[in-house]
Amino acid sequence: MLTQIEKKYFEMITPKIEMGSKSDETYTRCCPICREGKSFPRKKRFYMYNKSGMKFTLVHCFNCGYHKSFNNFLKEYYPSECQMMKSEVKGEKLLSLSKLKKSSDLTSDLNSNINLNDLDFSKNLKEDSFNKPKKLFEIPKEFQKLPVSAVLYLQKRAIPEKYYKDWYYCNSKVTLFDKELYLKDYIIIPFYYKNLLYGFQALKYIEKKFYIYLPAENYKIWNLYDIDTNKTIYVAESIYDAISSGFDKIQIISSLGVSLPEEISKKLNVVYCLDNQIIDETSYKESLKLLDEGKKVFIWPKKSEKFKDFNDLAKAGVKPEKIRRLIENNIYSGFEGKIKLKLNKG
Ligand SMILES: [Zn+2]
């Protein structure tokens, strides 16, 4: 059952045309996050609901898949309303407690047991782990389907279709947030947050040139917002390496180099996967440093010296599952890792 306060705040943040149906268990509106694409404001697929047995009121969009507690949704998109609602909720609970206190069967020390934090239901649900990107944008109309030449190139790099099916191609000038980009003959690898872009890597495959477009101080990390943060996360040096690693997309990110911002690395159980330390001096030094910092590192085994990275293995026809097993069987940390690294290097 939705509370009166929740209904009030839901209505408060909703312009009239965007409000859909109402019941004691469900309210609907146009999704404030994805704006429902072309169907705005006809479709109202953003639900706030609380059915019997549910601890919290949730919101869910059946278009973009946004899913959170109502409280955390407010916190994210309507922070001042969220504050207001919280104090109202607390006020109401205190009021009902003080009413209780007047009744006869309460001990005198009840008051000292009231913990306001217990009333803060936000901490009971998992927060979005990382800062939301500061600027989001839709796919520009200049981004088109990949042409055959680009597909052939990706196939040669052993990139499976399931990855590049949501990549684009650009062969013209694009204006984004007042900035003109000349993207002639580029493959576009999108960085998604929900269904929107917060940046992309543009890759000129003929000249092996690439660059990254991020309109704000967003994380320069591919696949960051799709991972399952409860699982071990693997970090690869490039997007191609990440894809070639054999790990599911939800378990691997590429940070274009492996240095992660502290606020991210602290929250995740990370295994760092660098290029082959046996043949790459920078990677060797970087791995030693990571081990010194107490991090977990994948160490390339001695017999692998022909290959410089995971994509190299994939291009040579090594199956994804095999690469994945290779990684899982060669994860080290601390002193043991440093010894292994030095021994393999010879
Ligand atoms: Zn939506």
Residue 280 CB burial class (10 angstroms; 0-12, 13-18, ≥19): middle
The alpha carbon of 60 and the centre of ligand 1 are apart by a number of angstroms equal to 8
The alpha carbon of 66 and the centre of ligand 1 are apart by a number of angstroms equal to 6
The alpha carbon of 64 and the centre of ligand 1 are apart by a number of angstroms equal to 4
Q: Is 236 helix (H, G, I), strand (E, B) or coil?
A: strand
The alpha carbon of 47 and the centre of ligand 1 are apart by a number of angstroms equal to 10
Report d(CA 287, CA 293) in Å as an integer. Answer: 10
Q: Mean pLDDT, 10 residues at a time, over the chain (346 residues)?
A: 91 84 91 82 88 87 88 87 84 59 37 37 45 87 93 92 92 89 92 88 83 85 89 93 91 85 87 95 94 95 93 94 95 94 89
CATH 1.10.3470 fits 1-127, yes or no: no
Q: Is 139 helix (H, G, I), strand (E, B) or coil?
A: coil
Contact (Cβ atoms closer than 8 angstroms) between residue 165 and residue 188: no
The alpha carbon of 333 and the centre of ligand 1 are apart by a number of angstroms equal to 42
Within 8 A by CB and 6+ apart from 210, the residues are 201, 202, 203, 204
The pLDDT value given to residue 70 = 93
Buried b (16+ CB within 10 A) or exposed e, 322-339: ebbebbeebbbeeeebbe
One-character DSSP codes across 253-289: EE-SSS---HHHHTTS-EEEE-S-TTT-HHHHHHHHH
Answer yes or no: same fold for 1-127 and 226-345: no
Selecting from 3.40.228.10, 3.40.1360.10, 3.30.565.10, 3.40.50.1220, what CATH number does the domain 226-345 have? 3.40.1360.10
The pLDDT value given to residue 103 = 39
Residue 118 CB burial class (10 angstroms; 0-12, 13-18, ≥19): exposed
The pLDDT value given to residue 126 = 38
Which among 219, 215, 210, 251 is positioned nearest to 131, based on CA atoms?
219
The alpha carbon of 84 and the centre of ligand 1 are apart by a number of angstroms equal to 24
The alpha carbon of 144 and the centre of ligand 1 are apart by a number of angstroms equal to 23
One-character DSSP codes across 282-326: HHHHHHHHHHHTT-EEE---GGGTT-SSHHHHHHTT--HHHHHHH
The pLDDT value given to residue 262 = 84
The alpha carbon of 194 and the centre of ligand 1 are apart by a number of angstroms equal to 9
Domain boundaries, the chain: 1-127, 148-213, 226-345
